[in-house]
Amino acid sequence: MSKFSQCSVRNRLLAALPADDFARIRNHLDPVTLNRSDVIVEANAPIEHVYFLEAGVTSIVTRTVRGRRIEIGLVGRDGFAGVPVLLGADRTPHETFMQVGGSALRMRAEAFHQALEQSPALQKLLLRFVQVFHLQTAQTAACNGSQKVSRRLARWLLMCHDRLDGDELPLTHEFIAVMLAVRRPGVTEALQELETADIIRTERRNIVVLDRRKLEETAGDAYGVPEAEYERLIGPFR
């Protein structure tokens, strides 16, 4: 018997479910700890579980023919990992791994399918999240193709800040370079630009957000569209 109640979950999708629908799936949710770099959805392999994040941040990445990884989306406690299962697929060419360690409520794919059949409310809620995630990936593509690195960096830091507690983001220059699809010197220059403006402070393997308002101003219209859609369709984002 599951030992947690709906009021104790931190995942915003599970918290938004009607109580009866949450009760149907509660005993199929297993708490798991996830470490940084853990792969929770392997590329081109059967997806055995979906993960409702409680803490931490996942990155969904694609690989180029030369093996370079590029982030196409990220998810935290606002959503879940394993979207292809919801859409009727059993695998995906994209990999999902933990960029910041945390925890999740894990559900076997078979139980997830059954829950979707029994709960129209669950299916509707998760499809709304897919709409938000689609906007996020579209925004990422638009930003990567049209925005300078400092603005893309500001947007990405805001997205991580939204999904983590406090103002410290445990991220390295190398990791950010992978996520933004730019070379490390470009990341270092952009971080220095934000630090000089007293928007962030960089530490070893850590970035501290000092002024979120200024960070939002730097990101400009690169940030905010998916977040507003989340609040319209699902509820409070942060």
pLDDT at residue 1 in the model: 42
Whether the predicted pLDDT of 30 surpasses 50? yes
Whether the predicted pLDDT of 46 surpasses 80? yes
| The dihedral formed by the CA atoms of 27, 29, 32 and 34, expressed in degrees to the nearest 10 | 180
pLDDT at residue 183 in the model: 79
Q: Indicate the pLDDT class of residue 194, thresholds 50, 70 and 90.
A: very high
What does the pLDDT look like over 53-84, one tens digit per residue? Answer: 999 999 999 887 777 788 889 999 999 999 99
Average pLDDT over residues 195-202: 95
Whether the predicted pLDDT of 185 surpasses 90? no
Mean of pLDDT over the chain: 92
What does the pLDDT look like over 209-234, one tens digit per residue? Answer: 999 999 999 999 999 999 999 999 99
Architecture of the structural domain at 6-142: Sandwich (2.60)
Ranges of each domain in the chain: 6-142, 147-233
202 CB-contact burial (10 Å; exposed 0-12 / middle 13-18 / buried 19+): middle
pLDDT at residue 3 in the model: 66
143 vs 225 pLDDT, higher one:
225
Long-range interactions of 184-192: CB distance < 8 A, separation 24+:
186/149, 187/149, 187/153, 189/149, 190/149, 190/150, 190/152, 190/153, 191/153
pLDDT at residue 9 in the model: 95
Third-level CATH fold of 147-233: Arc Repressor Mutant, subunit A (1.10.10)
